[in-house]
Amino acid sequence: MQSRVYRLANKVKCPFCGVEFIPSIKSSAGGEAEVTCPNGHAFTIMLNDFVLDCEIRDWERFSLLPQSTQQAVLEVIQSGKVPPDLQTLMRRLKEAGVVVCT
């Protein structure tokens, strides 16, 4: 079985040395993932603020959302970063199967 590695679209900042980098995620548990900066410092990031490898699976239900909401969701999927005001919406869309993230 081959494991997948996901790369976040946004940079994170190492709390030890301050270097900003785009981390790769091999696995996550409980909404957290351990990452290692280019200088070798390991630390944990919260994935609630990020989405990995997402796509819209139910275009019919997605089209029922207001145009501005559709645009916001598309921007989240493209950027990989979920702003705090959209976290509940993204969670509900994932639970309903409208958006699927692996």
Look at phi and psi of residue 39 and say left if phi exceeds 0, alpha if psi is from -120 to 50, else beta: alpha
Q: How far is CA 30 from the centre of its chain?
A: 14
Whether residue 44 is contained in a domain is answered as yes
The per-residue pLDDT for range 17-65, each reduced to its tens digit, is 999 998 888 777 767 888 999 999 998 887 767 777 789 999 999 999 9
Residue 34 within any structural domain of the chain? yes
75 & 43 share domain: no
pLDDT tens per residue, range 73-91: 999 888 888 888 888 899 8
**What is the structure's pLDDT at 60?**
96
Does 1 fall in a domain? no
Task: Map tokens 């275009």 to a residue.
Answer: 59
Domain that holds residue 87: 54-101
Angle among Cα 1, 30, 97 to the nearest 5 degrees reads 75
**Angle formed by the axes of helices 87-96 and 67-79, to 10°?**
90
**Does residue 43 belong to any structural domain of this protein?**
yes
Total tally of structural domains belonging to the chain: 2
Q: How far apart are CA 32 and CA 45, in angstroms?
A: 6
Residue 93: band (very low, low, confident or very high) from pLDDT cuts 50, 70, 90: very high
Q: What is the pLDDT of residue 73?
A: 95
Q: Are both 58 and 94 inside the same structural domain?
A: yes
pTM above 0.85, yes or no: no
